Chains A and B, each alone.
Chain A
Amino acid sequence: MTYVIYFYMKILYQTRKKRFFLSMKSVKLHSPLSRLVNYSLAFLLLFSLNLFAQEGDAANGEKLFKANCAACHKLDKKLIGPELLKITEKRDLEWLKAWIKDNNALVASGDKLAKEVQESNPAAMTPFPQLSDSDINDILVYTNGAPVAATTVASTEVDPGVELGKQIFKANCAACHKLEGKLIGPELLKITEKREHSWLKAWIKDNNALVASGDKLAKEVQESNPAAMTPFPQLSDEDIDNVLKYLAVGDVQPAAVATTTAGSEEIFNKPGIGILPSLAITILAFLLLSIIVAATTNKKVEEGEEESESMLKSMFFNPFLRFLTLIFVLLGGAWMLFAWLLQIDVNEGYQPIQPIAFSHAVHAGDNKIDCQYCHSSAKHSKTSGIPTANVCMNCHKSISEYNGELFDGHTKEDLDKEIQKIYDAVGWDKENVKYIEGYQQKPIEWVRIHNLADFAYYNHSQHVTVAGLDCQKCHGPVETMHEMRQFSPLTMGWCIDCHRTTKVDMTENGYYKNIHDQLAKKYGVKEVTAAQMGGLECGKCHY
């Protein structure tokens, strides 16, 4: 709305400006008297404009602001001086002009407000006597946020306190409170309508002190929730005011956000070229190719049929050639047979369908959660454990829906259902944010991917804690896999290759210092490989 008005005013202003120039042109033709009249008329026009809408050139204002004020002031944030967005609504125009020109003079003149403002900030403001009235006017127009509206989305109508409040809310309150929906604490949207402002302030600063002071309501509230609220003495009155402003309004641009998410969803859900059509295209192309080949070869055979037939026949019945072919075929067959035998029970690329479409790429890749956060037993145990659901719940207590980038053709609803599967397993009531009492919990039946044969012993802690290997060394780039698959062949040859080439890391391995030095001397090397330290002994892995 203000935006429309702004444009309207701009047009109005420009047309008036033109008229002003027209009158200027006509000046030359007239007598000094009419010139004077014209000047005064033009002046009146400008003056009335100034009075009428405080109109000025915002672009010029921006330039001046950046050159003179921006070192200490920002529009939307405190810097050295206070934020200046919509400062004209707070302070009188004439006062601002006087203040900007020379704030010290204003204070000296006995202006109370000026004194107050000056004392509120330890940094002294530089006087700007070089700025003309119209310059200052332009700057103030700029601070009203018109050009800001053009760049950032709809922040002009919102009280800047709301945005600040949101930041503070996110940093301090959001761990236990949501705007809508209970978390640990109650929901807080429009809490200002339920409780008194001053009570809320006292409560937020130190709820225990409030209860101790004998406030009945406070006692009631505290007893209604088993979780104790953290006191926030570090928040200033202004901070709390801003938070309460934010709570009264809530998130202001849900409409804009909704449209953008809808848009992005559309993009992600758009069916691209799927598997089936591309398969059909390849088959078609193959058919076409084979038809062409068939056509051309047929012709050739027809043309030179007699000669080539006799040639072929003699070649075919040549015993030496037949013998040679037989040997080649047998060798080729044996080679293929061995290739086939060697891949029995080698599960490289095994990618079973898991009960939950858990994405390692989202957890370990995007969110950079350490592998061992979930697979915590890898550091002490033979097995790198599959996390129990309580580990999932450490985060998914508060993350009950998926808001990241969609992948593998899943929709947001699909993925929300995947998170719901954890809640179904452990019995978590996500509306009331607590475990359902007496719920029959059931295990999540993950499908094991990396499965060594029982006759081979492997110990995770030896490789993770002692050798200090990255998980990726064997498991591959898991942080890029949405769906987990076996990356390495896990064959004996693969193990031994690595043992032969890997030098033992001695930086944090004091335990091996003695034997390492002895072996290094024996083999005449600087650094001993895992194999030289006994990593090839049969009994190490097969017993």
Chain B
Amino acid sequence: MKNILKITIALAFLITLSSCWGDKTKPNYQYMPDMYKSVGYETYSQNPNYANGMTTQTPVDGTIARGHVPYDYENTNEGYEAAKLNLKNPLEVNEANLANGKKMYDIYCISCHGSAGAGDGELVKRDKFLGVPNYKDREITEGSIYHVIMYGRNMMGSHASQLTAKERWQITMYVQQLRTELLQ
């Protein structure tokens, strides 16, 4: 009899062990995690070496991050008008640029501006964001479109952190195409 008892105890022990990770809000346990954790600081890890405790830092003033294109127009109404008049798209209008512009537009703009640019995106339909204009109702140029993606305007926020300069220009190109289609 004692044997049976021992065996059941052992089994119960094993079963409890195998289903040990009960609290799913805590990570499962690790065995010898020597090479699991990064020695260097990872992108989103805390960092005691900086005053604000974060590894990700904004670029130092006066420096330009690799691949970034500086933008000289200021985030003011004068800057907007100046960009509207003078700023031109450096990219060539072609299929590839328009295709990627559409791809990016469908991620970053479509929620409010709608798939055709008529100001009827999902958020507008659901009354979350109101008064998004139809592109055809606005006098916009490639410069002003780029400027607004860069800095935002009124209730629209800046989308510069989500898009590279090239992608912003591709979206600009695509928005202009949508506007011409809407005006017809």
Given contact pairs A172-B131, A352-B26, A373-B111, A183 touches B77 in the complex (Cβ within 8 A): no
Indicate if the CB atoms of B111 and A175 lie closer than 8 Å: no
* In the complex, chain A residues whose CB is within 8 Å of the CB of B44: 383, 386, 446, 448
* In the complex, chain A residues whose CB is within 8 Å of the CB of B126: 366-367
Indicate if the CB atoms of A453 and B36 lie closer than 8 Å: yes
B13 to chain A, nearest CB (A): 10
CB-CB contacts below 8 Å: A13-56 with B? none
**Which residue of B25, B39, B122 contacts A352 across the interface (Cβ within 8 Å)?**
B25
* In the complex, chain B residues whose CB is within 8 Å of the CB of A346: 28
Assembly CA distance A169 to B33 (angstroms) = 60
**Which residue of A175, A227, A443, A453 contacts B132 across the interface (Cβ within 8 Å)?**
A175
Binary flags per residue of A160-186, CB closer than 8 Å to B gives 1, else 0: 000000000111111110000001100
Q: Please name the residue on chain B nearest to A353 by beta carbon.
A: B25
**Which residue of B18, B138, B152 contacts A336 across the interface (Cβ within 8 Å)?**
B18
CB of A288 within 8 A of chain B?
Answer: no
Assembly CA distance A336 to B19 (angstroms) = 10
CB-CB contacts below 8 Å: A445-466 with B? 446, 448, 451, 453-455
Assembly CA distance A373 to B119 (angstroms) = 18
**B-contacting 9-mer, from A94-102, A279-287, A391-399:** A391-399
* In the complex, chain B residues whose CB is within 8 Å of the CB of A367: 111, 122-123, 126, 128
A167 to chain B, nearest CB (A): 11
CB-CB contacts below 8 Å: B89-147 with A? 106-108, 110-111, 119, 122-123, 126, 128-133, 137-138
State how many residues of chain A have any CB contact under 8 Å with chain B.
61
**Which residue of A170, A345, A453 contacts B28 across the interface (Cβ within 8 Å)?**
A345
**Which residue of B128, B157, B163 contacts A390 across the interface (Cβ within 8 Å)?**
B157
Indicate if the CB atoms of A391 and B161 lie closer than 8 Å: yes
A227, A351, A368: most-surrounded residue (chain B CB, <10 A): A368
Assembly CA distance A394 to B137 (angstroms) = 22
Indicate if the CB atoms of B133 and A175 lie closer than 8 Å: yes
Assembly CA distance A391 to B160 (angstroms) = 10
Q: Please name the residue on chain B nearest to A349 by beta carbon.
A: B24
Indicate if the CB atoms of B77 and A345 lie closer than 8 Å: no
Given contact pairs A367-B128, A373-B107, A388-B161, A398 touches B155 in the complex (Cβ within 8 A): yes
Indicate if the CB atoms of A343 and B21 lie closer than 8 Å: yes
* In the complex, chain B residues whose CB is within 8 Å of the CB of A169: 131
CB of A324 within 8 A of chain B?
Answer: no
Assembly CA distance A74 to B157 (angstroms) = 40
How many A-B contacts if CB must be within 8 Å? 148
State how many residues of chain B have any CB contact under 8 Å with chain A.
57
Identify 7 residue pairs between A and B in the complex whose beta-carbon atoms are under 8 Å apart, listed by A's number. A175-B133, A175-B155, A176-B155, A367-B111, A373-B107, A391-B162, A453-B35
* In the complex, chain B residues whose CB is within 8 Å of the CB of A333: 10-11, 14
A69 to chain B, nearest CB (A): 30
**Which residue of A170, A344, A351, A391 contacts B24 across the interface (Cβ within 8 Å)?**
A351
CB of B68 within 8 A of chain A?
Answer: no
CB of A347 within 8 A of chain B?
Answer: yes
CB of A337 within 8 A of chain B?
Answer: yes
Assembly CA distance A332 to B12 (angstroms) = 12
* In the complex, chain A residues whose CB is within 8 Å of the CB of B77: 226-228
CB of A79 within 8 A of chain B?
Answer: no
Assembly CA distance A174 to B14 (angstroms) = 63
* In the complex, chain B residues whose CB is within 8 Å of the CB of A329: 7, 10-11
Assembly CA distance A518 to B28 (angstroms) = 44
Residues of B that sit less than 8 Å from A by CB: 7, 10-11, 14-15, 17-18, 20-21, 24-31, 33, 35-39, 43-44, 52-54, 77, 106-108, 110-111, 119, 122-123, 126, 128-133, 137-138, 152, 154-159, 161-164
Indicate if the CB atoms of B31 and A345 lie closer than 8 Å: yes
A489 to chain B, nearest CB (A): 11
A256 to chain B, nearest CB (A): 17
Assembly CA distance A170 to B132 (angstroms) = 9
B19 to chain A, nearest CB (A): 8
Q: Please name the residue on chain A nearest to B119 by beta carbon.
A: A171
* In the complex, chain B residues whose CB is within 8 Å of the CB of A455: 35-36
Q: Please name the residue on chain A nearest to B131 by beta carbon.
A: A175
Assembly CA distance A398 to B156 (angstroms) = 9
Given contact pairs A234-B137, A333-B14, A368 touches B28 in the complex (Cβ within 8 A): no
A347 to chain B, nearest CB (A): 5
CB of A380 within 8 A of chain B?
Answer: yes
A234-B137, A340-B18, A453-B36 given. 8 additional CB < 8 A pairs?
Answer: A175-B129, A183-B155, A227-B154, A329-B7, A345-B33, A367-B123, A383-B43, A453-B33
Q: Please name the residue on chain B nearest to A371 by beta carbon.
A: B107
CB-CB contacts below 8 Å: A187-245 with B? 226-228, 230, 234
Assembly CA distance A254 to B67 (angstroms) = 52
Indicate if the CB atoms of B38 and A454 lie closer than 8 Å: yes
Given contact pairs A399-B128, A454-B38, A176 touches B26 in the complex (Cβ within 8 A): no
Closest 10 CB pairs of A and B: A175-B131, A174-B130, A394-B157, A376-B162, A174-B131, A340-B18, A453-B36, A370-B107, A454-B38, A345-B30
A191 to chain B, nearest CB (A): 16
Assembly CA distance A227 to B52 (angstroms) = 32
Indicate if the CB atoms of B27 and A347 lie closer than 8 Å: yes
Indicate if the CB atoms of B162 and A373 lie closer than 8 Å: yes
Indicate if the CB atoms of A368 and B122 lie closer than 8 Å: yes
A106 to chain B, nearest CB (A): 38
